[in-house]
């Protein structure tokens, strides 16, 4: 690490420490229900499997998929995989209905997204043409404002459906844009492979902006920054503001698989490996903004793969994850690592999406899940208890009937007989 970069990081570290010590680290986003500051929970609990609580009334800290159970008649039950959301106010979980979304037609991953500030939820509406799967044909996308419950439809002008090409929906780092990539499904397959375009949808008014034109074979690798849209191709990281334009890019001396500028644009981190050596280990590169090409290489914690750069605790601590269940906070100045286990209650499928900007606030307690057992169990037990004397009386009656003939006199049996 060069002298100027080291001095820049030291300055950033001091500023970050002062911000944390004085409580001045600000996170963009809405205030949680009840006037509380939104925060991530210490663990992500799914709702109780038998819970009937649905909907959200404020920013969401995490969103995932878990098994839900419903009663059918007196004894039967029906189970299904459903989306749930965790409140950023108190860590409580509830089931979430996303109109038009279907796991059966789209799959168990890639169809939903949570904005970094927890205010917006985005999802795909699979086309009803029998050509589902992920990625598949989408009729449109939707975004929900969790503070009002309002849902906005995002329709592609002049197309009844498009073929989604990103493996995961995502929001920009400032939570303003839902990022999608799609191509015209009516084009020949050979031409279509180069026709996907990266589009940013403004969640405030639903307007789309093409931030990268068609013509690339490989899909973009999405990143984050305090403002604008970030994506990478090969060794180059691109950044643009869909409102103002003025695109910029930085070329790095390694292959990039994830990239993020830290709070206030003072630091930069990415995951990559050496060019020309595809089997070389993936490493975390971190340094001061403006000196991205001189970023310091750090070893990734065990189990962390490319694409798992999850956010920032402060300008000098970046969060990387193992499928977002066990995460690691890496100090980019001295390389120290802190592990945090987030897995909580529930038969959760895959790992939950997190409101990544909320890493800049202290974690809060998670509410204990309710309705974790079959609500009919007390009745089943009561019924079983009530059946004991009934069954005993019936057995006694059967026994007496065998011993007493119709005439009312006892039956004589020879000695030794039963």
CA–CA distance, 47 with 84 (Å, rounded to integer): 7
Section 281-306 average pLDDT: 89
CA–CA distance, 288 with 8 (Å, rounded to integer): 6
Model pLDDT for residues 104-132, shown as the tens digit of each residue: 778 777 789 999 999 999 999 988 754 54
Q: What is the pTM of this model?
A: 0.82
CA–CA distance, 80 with 395 (Å, rounded to integer): 42
25 token code pair: 């680290």
For 163, the 3-state DSSP assignment is strand
Cβ distance 226 to 27 under 8 Å? no
pLDDT at 413 over 70: no
CA–CA distance, 169 with 171 (Å, rounded to integer): 7
Model pLDDT for residues 222-268, shown as the tens digit of each residue: 999 999 999 999 999 999 999 888 899 999 999 999 999 999 999 99
Cβ distance 41 to 340 under 8 Å? no
Model pLDDT for residues 31-56, shown as the tens digit of each residue: 555 456 899 999 999 999 999 999 99
Model pLDDT for residues 310-328, shown as the tens digit of each residue: 999 999 999 998 666 889 9
Please name the residue that has the structure tokens 């008014």: 205
Beta-bridge mates of residue 67: 81
The domain 3-360 having CATH identifier 1.10.3720.10: the answer here is: no
pLDDT at position 20 is: 42
Give the number of other Cβ atoms within 10 Å of residue 313's Cβ.
21
pLDDT at position 127 is: 81
Instruction: Report the side by side order of strands in the sheet with 317-322.
Output: 309-314, 317-322, 326-331, 337-341
């Amino acid at each position: 690490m060069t002298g100027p970069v080291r001095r820049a990081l030291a300055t950033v570290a001091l500023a970050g420490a002062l911000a944390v010590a004085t409580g001045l680290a600000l996170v963009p986003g809405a205030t949680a229900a009840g006037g509380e500051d939104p925060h991530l929970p210490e663990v992500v609990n799914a709702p109780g499997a038998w819970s009937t609580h649905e909907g959200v009334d404020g920013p969401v800290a995490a969103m995932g998929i878990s098994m839900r159970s419903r009663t059918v008649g007196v004894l039967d039950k029906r189970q299904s995989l459903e989306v749930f959301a965790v409140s950023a106010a108190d860590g409580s979980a509830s089931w979430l209905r996303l109109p038009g979304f279907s796991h059966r037609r789209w799959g168990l991953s890639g169809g939903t997204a949570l904005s970094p500030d927890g205010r917006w939820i985005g999802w795909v509406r699979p086309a009803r043409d029998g050509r589902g799967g992920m990625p598949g044909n989408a009729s449109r996308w939707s975004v929900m404002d969790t503070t009002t419950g309002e849902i906005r439809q995002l329709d592609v002008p002049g197309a009844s459906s498009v073929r989604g090409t990103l493996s995961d929906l995502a929001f920009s780092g400032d939570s303003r844009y839902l990022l999608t990539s799609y191509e015209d499904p009516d084009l020949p397959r050979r031409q279509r492979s180069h026709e996907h375009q990266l589009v940013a949808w403004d969640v405030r008014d639903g307007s789309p902006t093409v931030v990268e034109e068609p013509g690339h074979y490989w899909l973009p690798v999405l990143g984050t920054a305090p403002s604008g849209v970030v994506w990478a191709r090969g060794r180059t990281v691109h950044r643009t503001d869909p409102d103002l334009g003025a695109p910029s890019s930085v070329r790095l001396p390694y292959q990039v698989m994830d990239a993020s500028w830290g709070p206030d644009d003072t630091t930069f981190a990415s995951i990559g490996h050496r060019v020309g050596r595809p089997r070389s280990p993936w490493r975390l590169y971190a340094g001061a903004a403006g000196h991205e090409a001189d970023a310091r290489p750090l070893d990734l914690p065990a189990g962390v793969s490319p694409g798992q750069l999850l956010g920032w605790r402060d300008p000098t601590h970046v969060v990387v994850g193992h499928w977002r269940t066990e995460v690691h906070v890496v100090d980019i100045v001295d390389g120290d690592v802190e592990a945090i286990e987030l897995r909580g209650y529930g038969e959760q499928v895959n790992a939950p999406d997190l409101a990544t900007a909320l890493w800049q606030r202290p974690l809060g307690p998670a509410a204990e899940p309710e309705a974790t057992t079959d609500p009919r169990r007390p009745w089943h037990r009561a019924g079983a208890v009530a059946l004991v004397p009934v069954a005993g009386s019936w057995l006694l009656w059967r026994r007496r009937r065998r011993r007493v003939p119709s005439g009312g006199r006892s039956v004589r049996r020879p000695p030794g007989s039963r």
